[in-house]
Structure 1
Amino acid sequence: MKIITLGPEGTFSHELALKMAGKAENIVLLPTIHSIMSAVARGEGDGIVPMENSEAGGVGETLDGLSKFPLFITAEMYLPIRHNLASLVTLKEMRVIYAHPQTDEQCSDMIEKWGLPVIHTSSNASSAREARKTPNAGAILSETAAALYHMPIIVKNTENSEWNTTRFVRIAATPSRHKRPEKCSILIDPDEDRSGLLHDLLGAFASRGINLSRIESRPSKRGIGNYVFFLDFSWSLKTAGALAELKKITTVKELGCYRKIGVPP
């Protein structure tokens, strides 16, 4: 089975896919999360996409894709994220930094300290390529990307927190069949706007002692003030009952129940 993930070479997604797949020939690199999800929906393989970061929060393109495409989460993985400032010049000579928007957020403390303008790019690899061809430029990227694009590391570990971690999910066209999953994810699209609606929705879990580990809202794309909600919760034998209760009062899209997979060193 092919693993489809975010390219080009040198992204954290690519780094994780290499750890999980073992061989580069089993990996397909695509330029956007939307294109990954489209390929997975066509049955071209399983996907690995970033879901959320401990510093920057949820990845909007992934959440929107899960809302749009008929896909399921079949596993989750956690990857510690270490950023580095790399450049062909010294920090004193640097005049601009290239960084992915999420990288910018995750390294905002150091960037503020340096006082240098940041130009956003589509990936770590793009940051490296732009910095290499721009005079007096630097890039914030992984150690892997720095080596791949022959960029000397000037400052190591530029992330705001030593606990900086990204949660990735594996997506597929069919759900996981694991008999004892650990976590479930759903999308709630409220059919009405009334006082106490969110309380009623969450009450289906609270009354059954089911632990909600995450709730995040995203624009529904149907106008300002209209939202959908993504929920993660611990799987239990009472999960089916909670979902049945929810479906009586709102629209629910089940995104799958799954387990955490350890990442090889």
Structure 2
Amino acid sequence: MTVITLGPEGTFSHELALRLGCDPVVLEPTIHSIFAGVAAGNGDGIVPIENSEAGGVGETLDGLTQYPLSITAEMYLPIHHNLASLVPLDSIRVIYAHPQTHEQCSGWIEQWKVPVIHTSSNASSAIEAKKTPNAGAILSVSAAAIYHIPVIVEHVENNPGNTTRFVRIAKNPGPDCRAGKCSILIDPDTDRAGLLYDLLGVFARRRINLTRIESRPSKRGMGKYVFFLDYAVSGCTDEALRELEGITTIRRLGCYPTIGVPP
């Protein structure tokens, strides 16, 4: 099965696909183009959905809103960032970094007091830094090796336990026989006091463990949001969803297993 993920070569997404043994791997320049490729039937996708330091990945959440795709698996990858450059640290005049990487490494960047230019991926940061005089890039060890840029400061993430959760997206739901988690998208069609309380109560009354809840602008005007919920599978799941559907509009994004990532 073809897997589509974020390129160019050397991104954490690409590294994850290789470690999972995916073949062939198609690299796309943006998360939006990954969703478009999966929707067109070109393969499954692997996309980052949240980070332990920086939170939800907006492009992925927007893609789940815009495209009728399913989540079929999740994976967790420890993320370690490094500052790489062709010049010493005191000669760096600009640093290239992906916005999520910037947030995950904000403490170190504040110390360096060097302007940051955002890029579409960590690999893109390497490419830009290599062709810009007195520039650095924040990236993985593997990306530094691929693009032949020496690492000059290791482990510049704010938190040594920095981890990114990835999901596999597909046109069709996966078999949920091994599922441990489910995801839904709630798109409220009313705005009333107590709506969120009522929605969460559906799970609380059945003692279903909500593992994540996140809001995202619906793009339909100020103050209008959609909600992403992840919850642990239980015997009351179908009953809870039927009650939710009687309250508001929901879309089932899928029930899926966690896939271990080889070292």
TM-score band (shorter)? over 0.9
How far, CA to CA, are the matches of 2:22 and 2:47 in structure 1? 17
Shift of 1:22: 4.9
Shift of 1:252: 0.3
How far, CA to CA, are the matches of 1:191 and 1:244 in structure 2? 16
Aligned CA RMSD, in angstroms, stands at 0.8
SS in 2 for 1:67: helix
Q: Map 1:1-265 onto structure 2 (within 5 A).
A: 1-23=1-23, 26-265=24-263
Amino acid at match of 2:211: S
Shift of 1:180: 3.8
Report the number of matched residues: 263
Amino acid at match of 2:21: A
How far, CA to CA, are the matches of 2:207 and 2:104 in structure 1? 34
How far, CA to CA, are the matches of 1:127 and 1:191 in structure 2? 41
| Cα deviation digits, residues 34-62 of structure 1 (max 9, x gap) | 11111111211110000000011000010
Kept after mapping to 2: 8 A contact 1:110/1:160: yes
Amino acid at match of 2:19: K
Q: TM-score, normalised by structure 2?
A: 0.98
Shift of 1:141: 0.4
Shift of 1:177: 1.0
Shift of 1:178: 2.5
Change beyond 3 A, Cα 1:53–1:143: same
Question: Structure 2, unaligned stretches of length 5 or more?
Answer: none
SS in 2 for 1:113: helix
Higher mean C-alpha displacement, 47-56 vs 126-135: 126-135
How far, CA to CA, are the matches of 1:20 and 1:248 in structure 2? 40
Kept after mapping to 1: 8 A contact 2:215/2:228: yes
How far, CA to CA, are the matches of 2:178 and 2:151 in structure 1? 44
Kept after mapping to 1: 8 A contact 2:54/2:103: yes
Shift of 1:237: 1.3
Kept after mapping to 2: 8 A contact 1:3/1:21: no
How far, CA to CA, are the matches of 1:254 and 1:81 in structure 2? 29
Shift of 1:21: 2.4
Displaced runs of 4 or more, over 3 A = none
Shift of 1:9: 0.2
Question: Structure 1, unaligned stretches of length 5 or more?
Answer: none
Change beyond 3 A, Cα 1:150–1:263: same
